[in-house]
């Protein structure tokens, strides 16, 4: 198994697993459905498991896909929280004073 799994592919997977559509996921991510499909095929190849049952009207998660969905959603949530916290902590070090121009002179 490839240890360098793309965070972008995991994020794309979380969107596909919520929408159950490569087309809808592509719209939300501003990429083509073909790019979504390619990322998902590559992720499945790297993991060595099938994540989706592909059907004409959309996709369904396999058992492996459902397991990954739970952990990927949790992981992405933690990453987003970490990003927010790091941005907040860097803003605490700044002091911004807003005054009208005549007072600043």
| pLDDT tens digit sequence for 34-78 | 999 999 999 999 999 999 999 988 899 999 999 999 999 999 989
Q: Tell me the C-alpha distance between 78 and 95, whole Å.
A: 28
Query: What CATH class is the domain 7-104?
Result: mainly alpha
- Whether the Cβ atoms of residue 49 and residue 64 lie closer than 8 Å to each other: yes
Question: Mean pLDDT, to the nearest integer, of 7-27?
Answer: 96
- Whether the Cβ atoms of residue 37 and residue 22 lie closer than 8 Å to each other: yes
- Domain boundaries along the sequence of the chain: 7-104
- Which stretch of DSSP H or E encloses residue 1? none
Which residues, 6 or more positions from 16, have their beta carbon under 8 angstroms from its beta carbon?
22, 25, 36, 40, 52, 59
**pTM, 2 dp:** 0.77
């Amino acid at each position: 198994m490839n240890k360098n799994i793309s965070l972008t592919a995991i994020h794309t997977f979380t969107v596909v697993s919520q929408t159950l559509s490569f087309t809808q996921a592509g719209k939300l991510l501003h990429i083509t459905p073909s790019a979504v499909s390619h990322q998902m095929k590559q992720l499945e190849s790297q993991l060595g498991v099938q994540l989706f049952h592909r059907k004409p009207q959309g996709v369904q998660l396999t058992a492996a896909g459902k397991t990954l969905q739970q952990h990927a959603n949790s992981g992405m949530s933690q990453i987003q929280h970490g990003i927010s916290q790091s941005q907040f902590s860097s803003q605490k070090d700044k002091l911004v004073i807003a005054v009208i121009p005549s007072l600043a002179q």
